[in-house]
Amino acid sequence: MQRHENKFVTFAEKIFSMKKISIAITLMLCLFSCTNKSKKIIIKGDIDGLKNDMILVYGADKNGDALDTIYAKDGEFIYRAPVDTFTQVTLLFKNMEECVIFADKGDKVKISGDISSPDLLKVDGGDLNDEMNSFKESIADISKSTSKLKKEIYSSYISGNQTKYDELLQSPELIKAAKGIKEKAAAFIRSHTSSLVSVYLLNKYFVQEKNPDIAAIKELSNKLSGSVKDSPLMQQVNKLINTEEVLAAGKQAPSFSIKDIKGAYINLSNFKDKYLLINFWASWSSPSRKENSSINSIYRRFSKNHFAILNISLDTDKMKWKEAIKKDSLSGEQGCDFSGWGSPLVQQYGVEVLPTNVLVDPRGFILARNLEEKDLIRKLEELFIENKPTN
């Protein structure tokens, strides 16, 4: 199936600034693979402030493919989708906020509230939606306290003001609010151990962080009981735990072999005796492209040492890949197998969001993952002391 990467990136770039695609919806069954077309879920929306906006509908694909599009008119919409078993749907709004819905065949649900607080939208219909509503009520005060700040974050991102965007994301107010919501989510999970809502909250507030706290995830996972432990989403959470443990600092980096831009195979042994930064990116990923200038700067500064960069692209179009390399003057070695998210290498390195980076030492052991630019530079300065700036 053709991925909708361009459409997805244009509409929801914030997903790439978070770990594992914030909506990360691994569901019971893809909405459009059903055999009984007469069984449908009906989702009605009456949302204040929504106006005539577009909404993306997400289903079973964990990599973020939008299954469908809803067009609201004056804040109202009706959406029907065929299903033959229980499913979970996430609606992603233009302001890059989401609303999750739990439904079974024949269910009718209604969404109401104000688009200024999409994380507080009420979903009527079904016990699981009622449970989700109760969680939303528990975080209402925290969420409302940051509504203005979230609007500023969205505006700065859309306008391309990266400096302001980064500053706002690190604001004490937002960090405090995020901590408070995580505490509420943890409390909910501990008191609803057999609910699929708990699995969703575990994924959303703990797994989807850029550097997830594996100990906390394991502790909460162990609280869950019953059939939810075997749910597809929980299986993905367990997969993350295993991946993070395999790729932890001090572990041997997975071996690989991938063709470079000239068609020759390249692997870890090509970088023997060098520190290697593996940078996962794609021509269609705006956050990746923004980071390419930093990659070039870091390469110019440190490549005279025992340091190299391997840029591995998730592109599926060879021409677009080469054009992006040329346009960005991307430094370092280039590799791509044109398999996109299905690439074995992407799976081996647990890549779920772009850009992703892995720093490997000369012996092939992982030093760190997902380092921000300033942290990466600091680490390389420690490794190559002669490049430290003098006062």
CA distance 255 to 258: 10
Instruction: State residue 13's pLDDT score.
Output: 39
The alpha-helical segments, DSSP class H, found in 62-171 are 127-138, 140-145, 147-158, 162-169
Strand, helix or coil at 139? coil
Token pair belonging to 302: 């440190």
Euclidean distance between CA atoms 197 and 101, whole angstroms: 10
Among 118, 112, 116, which Cα is nearest to 92's? 118
Cis status, amide bond into 355, omega within 30 of 0: yes
| Residue 7: predicted pLDDT | 28
Q: Give the model's pLDDT for residue 245.
A: 84
Amino acid, res. 197: V
Instruction: Count Cβ atoms below 10 Å from residue 197 Cβ, excluding itself.
Output: 24
| Residues shown for the chain | 391
Residue 66's pLDDT is 61
Residue partners of 267: CB distance under 8 A and separation at least 6: 255, 256, 257, 258
Q: Find out whether 103 and 81 touch, Cβ atoms under 8 Å.
A: no
In which residue are the tokens 């077309």 written?
37
Residue 69: phi and psi, rounded to 5, are -130, 140
pLDDT recorded at residue 387: 47
Q: Cis ω on the peptide bond leading into residue 254 (within 30° of 0)?
A: no
Q: How far apart are CA 329 and CA 177, in angstroms?
A: 40
Listing DSSP states for 25-76 in one string gives ---SS-TT--S-TT-EEEEEEEEET-TT-EEEEE-S-TT--EEEEEE-BTTE
Residue whose C-alpha is closest to residue 254's, from 266, 264, 268: 268
Q: Which residue has the tokens 């109760």?
A: 134
Within 10 A of 50 (CB to CB), how many other CB atoms are there?
Answer: 25
The sign of the torsion formed by the CA atoms of 166, 181, 44, 41 equals positive
What is the number of alpha carbons within 13 Å of residue 181 lying toward its C-beta?
Answer: 23
Per residue of the chain (391 residues), what is the pLDDT tens digit?
A: 222 232 233 333 333 333 333 333 333 333 433 444 447 889 999 999 898 999 988 874 434 456 789 999 999 999 998 877 788 888 988 877 889 999 988 899 999 999 888 889 999 999 999 999 999 999 999 998 988 888 888 888 778 787 888 788 889 999 999 999 999 999 999 999 999 999 999 999 998 887 788 899 999 999 999 899 988 889 888 888 888 888 889 999 999 999 999 999 999 999 988 999 999 999 999 889 989 999 999 999 999 889 999 999 999 999 999 999 999 999 999 999 999 988 999 989 988 789 999 999 999 999 999 998 999 999 999 998 654 444 4
Name the pTM for this structure. 0.73
How far, in Å, are 31, 89, 165, 170, 297 from residue 68 at the CA level?
Answer: 10, 11, 29, 33, 40
